[in-house]
Structure 1
Amino acid sequence: MATANDRAVLQTIFNPSTPFGDIPGLDEEGEDDEDAQGDGDAFPEELLEQVRDLELQGVTAAESGDVSTALERFGEAVRLLPERASGYNNRAQALRLRGDVAGALRDLDAAIRLSRGRGRAACQSFVQRGLIHRLQGRDEEARRDLEQAARLGSAFARRQLVLLNPYSALCNQMLCEMLGRLRNPGHTGSG
C-alpha cells in the first residue's frame, strides 16, 4: 500500500516542476485518496490494495524509463477498478510521457468526472490538464483548470496562475526593477 511519502515521491517523478510538498493532505497520516474524497468504502479493500500495488509498479516502471510497462500496470489498475479516479490520473501521466496528449486528456477528463472534482486525484488531474492546455496555447482553459486545482490546495497551480496573469507579470517586473534600484542606487538600469 502506498504511503503519503510514496505519493509525494511519485508526484515528484511524474511532475518534476511540482514542489515535493505540493500534495494536498500529505501530512494527514493514513488518509488515502478515496478517504479524502469520502468514498474510501466504495471499493473492496483487497481489490483496492491490488490496484494500489499495480499503480506502484507502474510508477516504478516509469521511474526506470519503461513507459510501456507503466502503461500496462496503470491500464490493469483501471480495468480492475474503472470507477477509481487515481488510475486514470496515473495513466494520463504515463501517456503524456509517451507523447499521447489526446489519450492523456481523455484519462484526465475521466479522472475529474469520477472524482467529482474533489480530492487529490482531481487536484492532480486539474493541474496536469491545465498544463497541457497551457502548452497548447489555450490559456483560458488552462486558467480554469489551474483555478480549480488551486482551490483544492495546489500551491503549484497558484504559481502557474500568477504566470498566466499579464498584470501580475508586469507588477513582478516593476517590483524587481525597483528592488534592483534600491540595491544599487547609482545604477539607473538603462545601460
Structure 2
Amino acid sequence: MEKLSDHDKAVLNCIFNPNLPIGEAEITNNVDIQDSEECTAKNLETKQMELEAIQLAEQGKLQEAIKLVNSAIDATPNRPSLYNNRAHILQYLRQFDDALNDLTTAISLCTDQHKKTLSQAYTQRGILYKRNNKIELAKEDFENAARLGNKFAKSQLIELNPYAALCNQMLKQVMDQLN
C-alpha cells in the first residue's frame, strides 16, 4: 500500500481525534495512557503496540496496523481503547460493520477510568449510525458523548436538529451579508 497523502492523514486525524480542531493534535493522542488501568507489563506492552499500530496507520500500512492491534487484543482483550482504535482503522478500510461491532465492544468495556475512549467510541459509533441513516441511534450516541464533554458530538446533535440547523443557516446568511 502506498503512503498516505497529507489529506488522508488529516482525515485520519479527524477520526482519531474528533474532539479537536483539524491540525491541532497528532493521531497518537488517542491512546488512553492517562487511564488508571492496572499498570502491568502486559498492559504497558499492548499500549506500546497500540501506539505503533497508530503510527503504521498514519503511514498507510493499514493491514500491518490491524495485525498489530489484533495481537494486542489477543494479549489484553479487556482494553477498550484497542477496540476503539481498531474501529478507526476498519473505517478507513471501509469495513463499517466490523468497526461498528468494535465500537460497541469498546463501549461495553469502558469504565469510569476510560472516559476519553468512551467519548470517542460513542462519537464514532454515532457517525456510523448517521452514515447508515439510523438517526435516532446516532442522536443517542452523540448525546452520550456530549455528556462526556465531546464538542464534536455536540455539533453533530445540533446538525441533526432540523430547527437548530435552520437557525444556524439563517445566522450564517446574516453574518455573510454583514461582512
Percent of pairs with identical residues: 32
For 2:105, which of 89, 110, 129 is the aligned residue?
Answer: 110
Q: 1:120: Cα distance to partner? A: 1.2
SS class of match (1:177): helix
Aligned twin of 1:148:
144
Deviations 1:46-98 (A, max 9, x none): 11110011101101110010110010011111111101111111111111111
For 2:20, the equivalent position in structure 1 comes to 19
Output the CA distance in 2 between the equivalents of 1:32 and 1:98.
Answer: 26
Q: CA RMSD in A?
A: 2.5
Look up the match of 2:166.
170
Aligned with 2:35: secondary structure?
helix
Instruction: For residue 82 of structure 1, give the secondary structure of its aligned residue in structure 2.
Output: coil
Report matched runs for 1:122-141 at 5 Å: 122-141=118-137
Contact 1:71 1:91 in 2 (8 A): yes
- Structure 2 partner of 1:5: none
Residues 5-44 of structure 1 mapped to structure 2, 5 A cutoff: 12=13, 14-15=15-16, 18-20=19-21, 32-35=33-36, 40-41=37-38, 44=39
User: Equivalent residue for 1:158?
Assistant: 154
Determine the structure 2 residue equivalent to 1:92: 87
Letter in 1 for 2:166: L
Instruction: Find 1:64's aligned residue among 39, 59, 62.
Output: 59
User: Rg larger in 1 or in 2?
Assistant: 1
Distance 1:87 1:72 in 2: 12
Which of 117-126 and 144-153 deviates more? Answer: 117-126
Superposition TM-score, scaled by structure 1 size: 0.75
- The whole-number CA distance in structure 1 between the counterparts of 2:115 and 2:45 is 21
Counterpart of 1:113, as a letter, is: S
Q: Return the alpha-carbon distance in structure 1 between the equivalents of residues 140 and 42 of structure 2.
A: 34
Q: How many residues align?
A: 161
- The aligned counterpart of 1:189 is none
Give the structure-2-normalised TM-score: 0.80
Corresponding residue number in structure 1 for 2:4: none
Query: Any gaps of 5 or more consecutive residues in structure 2?
Result: 1-9
What is the distance in 2 between the residues matched to 1:13 and 1:152? 18
Q: Please state whether the residue corresponding to 1:19 is helix, strand or coil.
A: coil
